[in-house]
Amino acid sequence: MNSAPDSPPASDAPLRLLFVKLKHIGDALLLTPTLVAVQRAYPNAQSWVVVREGTEGILAGCPAIHRLVTVAAVESDRRPLGSLWRDTQTWLALRRERFDYAFELTDGDRGRWLAGMSGARVRCVNTFHPPMNAWWQWWFNRRSETPWTQGHRVEKDHGLVAEFLPLPGEIPPLSFERSRSTEPDFLHGVADFAVFHPGTRWVKKRWPKAHWLELGRRLLERVGKIVVSCGPDADERALAAKLVAAWGPERAVSADGRLNWAQLAGCLHRARVFVGVDTAAMHLAAACQCPLVAIFGYSVVSQWRPWQAPCELINLAAGRDRDEFPDEKIMRLQTPELVLAAAERLLRPAQSAG
């Protein structure tokens, strides 16, 4: 059922909103344009956001969040004993808040439980994909059937909210404000640098190490230093260490998995260019408006491309037969020369060192 937007409340009336998005780190950041649009339209709104534990750090730069709530991570090996009890306590606490609107953005049963049974006056969900059975639909009094799979994930979230709560104007960029970022010690006094993020837990998204080595060697003819960002995973840290060793510690430095999201944002707000694969770090670069080169494989680019940022995409997978060009082959065909040319077009002047 597609409903007309509710009448917006009076401009001076407080509006209590609940957004539930229990997905991955990058997905959490992709919610921020919608939160900013809500704050812009309703300055007195109080936006509560529920995300998976471990994803909350990337939202630290968004000033449109009034309260951030976490629930246990989905992966069973990370769920502590008693997580069901904790989630139940969270649900009860949310019900006590008596929200005006609740928006379910997870597309899964856990998010539907929290939003649909939140007790909010208006409870909104998209039923287009994945389909919802009648039992779940009963818990939502605003249901959208708007198709979203051909658009960006930012547009999906914004579209659901705007369908029931008017949001005038264009969709904003991702949000991680510079004033909320911090600069790691190793960047003090360094003004001319690029950021690489080569690591990913998805094998199908990995660009060959030899390509990273060649790209870094050639880009260091144009920039003073390369910062290699990586997560805490041992394989990512090992790859970063090997790249830095090959380029030389005087020209490169590894974050070694120790940066939090605010510190990585501190790097990205000043970096001359970011180069990475399709990860949360790529989306953070977009949030910081860092010029970026994104290397894609067979991801759905229309849904996951960098949102509203200076960028170039390297994506030779488009239109290819995956049997003839499997993941490893297509990533290998995307050469350092292609990526270097894109990076050179995007390089911005060095910004002042902190």
Question: In the chain, what are the domains?
Answer: 15-164 (3.40.50.2000), 179-346 (3.40.50.2000)
Q: Model confidence over 227-280: pLDDT tens digits?
A: 999 999 999 999 999 999 999 999 999 999 999 999 999 999 999 999 999 999
Cis peptide before 173 (omega within 30 of 0): no
Over the chain, what HEC string results? Answer: CCCCCCCCCCCCCCEEEEEEECCCHHHHHHCHHHHHHHHHHCCCEEEEEEEECCCHHHHCCCCCCCEEEEECCCCHHHCCCCHHHHHHHHHHHHHHCCCCEEEECCCCHHHHHHHHCCCCCEEEEECCCCCCCHHHHCCCCEEECCCCCCCCHHHHHHHHHHHHCCCCCCCCCCCCCHHHCCCCHHHCCCCCEEEEECCCCCHHHCCCHHHHHHHHHHHCCCCCEEEECCCCCHHHHHHHHHHHHHHCCCCEEECCCCCCHHHHHHHHCCCCCEEEECCHHHHHHHHCCCCEEEECCCCCHHHHCCCCCCEEEECCCCCCCCCCCCHHHHHHHCCHHHHHHHHHHHCCCCCCCC
Q: Model confidence over 176-214: pLDDT tens digits?
A: 999 999 999 999 999 999 999 999 999 999 999 999 999
* Closest among 240, 245, 311 to 278, alpha carbons compared: 311
How confident is the model at residue 353, as a pLDDT?
79
How confident is the model at residue 74, as a pLDDT?
62
How confident is the model at residue 75, as a pLDDT?
58
Whether residue 10 has pLDDT greater than 80 = no
- Cα maximum dimension of the chain: 62
Whether residue 290 has pLDDT greater than 60 = yes
Strands 101-104 and 122-126: parallel
Contact of 144 with 256, CB cutoff 8 Å: no
Q: Taking residues 112-132, what's their average pLDDT?
A: 95
Q: Residue 171 — very low, low, confident or very high, per pLDDT cuts 50/70/90? A: very high
pLDDT above 70: percentage of residues in the chain: 94
How confident is the model at residue 78, as a pLDDT?
56
How confident is the model at residue 199, as a pLDDT?
94
How confident is the model at residue 104, as a pLDDT?
98
Q: Residue 83 — very low, low, confident or very high, per pLDDT cuts 50/70/90? A: confident
The 10 Å Cβ neighbour count of residue 166 is 13
Q: Residue 11 — very low, low, confident or very high, per pLDDT cuts 50/70/90? A: low
CA angle, 22 then 274 then 21, to 5°: 10
* Closest among 2, 30, 33 to 140, alpha carbons compared: 2
Of 298 and 81, more confident: 298
How confident is the model at residue 117, as a pLDDT?
96
The whole-chain average pLDDT of the chain stands at 94
Whether residue 302 has pLDDT greater than 60 = yes
How confident is the model at residue 14, as a pLDDT?
87
Q: Taking residues 44-64, what's their average pLDDT?
A: 97
